[in-house]
């Protein structure tokens, strides 16, 4: 079974209880066969419940959520599935405050689950199609010269990489860089875009066209951060960049984006946020 929809009407028809969610996870986790995490044995039998697998050799009993991003989740799986659908299928995503109100959970709980989603869909781990590479460096957070920003996160710089196939952007990703390692003069304003000409050689007409397209992507990214996420810690800004470009790269396959996210969460490692020690 592969869920292909972006509507809650279809979602509610398929996922009615937590066991429906576990059944879906079970079909994904062991779709290629069982392999024990303790001894690598590939033979198993029914474990504690129908959603467990027990190793025949070492007797290790593993649940369908163990060693995944869903590990030790603090609220019902049905709500977790609903949050994942909203975060990924909405064009502009959803804030943790709205998640908290819509699903009846604490905002801190909503924030932590969203962090788990972001960790599961980290950029740089997916297939990058061939094409012309175009890079832009931007400032995120802090006070910008040309606008009175509501975005109060600490200032960070990120390099956005866009792959063009003709006039179409087929892939995008972003990486946060240290201010000292950022290319270009440190006296440049944060809102100014700088092109890495050494990594992209083309005719002026094509370069101008690609720059115009990249400007739109950057504008949409900044408006999304300021409009949906009024505050973003500089420590976690890379997660928001990953979220934005994951939706951007799958914009033509929204009906299957939920299934893709769940697959990544099943194959991902458990994430437990630990506050940084005060300096």
pLDDT of residue 201: 46
User: Taking residues 39-59, what's their average pLDDT?
Assistant: 89
Angle at 270 between CA 141 and CA 261, to 5 degrees: 70
**For residue range 14-28, what is the model confidence (pLDDT) as tens digits?**
999 999 999 999 999
What gap in Å lies between CA 273 and CA 233, rounded to an integer?
14
- The answer on pLDDT for 193 being more than 60 is no
What gap in Å lies between CA 276 and CA 254, rounded to an integer?
35
* 100 pLDDT tier (thresholds 50, 70, 90): very high
**Number of CB atoms found within 10 A of residue 34's CB:** 16
- The answer on pLDDT for 165 being more than 90 is no
What gap in Å lies between CA 188 and CA 175, rounded to an integer?
19
User: Taking residues 229-248, what's their average pLDDT?
Assistant: 83
Residues 42 and 56 sit within 8 Å (Cβ to Cβ): no
Residues 60 and 37 sit within 8 Å (Cβ to Cβ): yes
Q: Which of 261, 267, 263 is closest to 89 using CA atoms? A: 261
Q: What is the mean pLDDT of the chain?
A: 80
pLDDT of residue 276: 45
Higher pLDDT, 221 or 140: 221
pLDDT of residue 268: 79
pTM value > 0.75: yes
- The answer on pLDDT for 192 being more than 50 is no
């Amino acid at each position: 079974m592969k869920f292909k929809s972006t509507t809650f009407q279809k979602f509610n028809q398929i996922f009615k209880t937590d066991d429906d969610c576990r059944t879906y996870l079970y079909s994904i986790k062991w779709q290629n066969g069982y392999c024990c995490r303790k001894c690598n044995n590939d033979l198993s039998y029914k474990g504690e419940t129908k959603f467990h697998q027990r190793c025949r050799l070492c007797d290790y009993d593993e649940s369908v959520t163990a060693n995944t991003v869903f590990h030790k989740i603090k609220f019902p799986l049905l709500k977790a599935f609903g949050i994942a659908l909203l975060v990924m299928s909405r064009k502009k995503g959803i804030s943790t405050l709205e998640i908290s109100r819509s699903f009846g959970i604490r905002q801190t709980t909503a924030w932590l689950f969203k962090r788990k989603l972001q960790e599961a869909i980290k950029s740089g781990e997916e297939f990058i199609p061939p094409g012309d590479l175009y890079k832009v460096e931007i400032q995120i957070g802090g006070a910008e010269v040309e606008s009175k920003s509501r975005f109060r996160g600490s200032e960070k710089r990120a390099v956005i990489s866009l792959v063009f196939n003709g006039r179409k952007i087929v892939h995008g990703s972003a990486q946060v860089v240290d201010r000292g390692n950022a290319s270009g003069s440190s006296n440049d304003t944060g809102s100014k875009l700088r092109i890495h000409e050494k990594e992209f050689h083309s005719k002026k007409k094509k370069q101008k066209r690609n720059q115009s397209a990249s400007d739109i992507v950057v504008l949409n990214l900044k408006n999304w951060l300021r409009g949906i996420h009024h505050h973003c810690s500089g420590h976690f800004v890379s997660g928001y960049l990953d979220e934005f470009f994951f939706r951007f790269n799958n914009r033509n396959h929204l009906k299957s984006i939920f299934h893709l996210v769940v697959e990544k969460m099943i194959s991902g490692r458990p994430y437990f946020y630990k506050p940084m020690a005060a300096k």
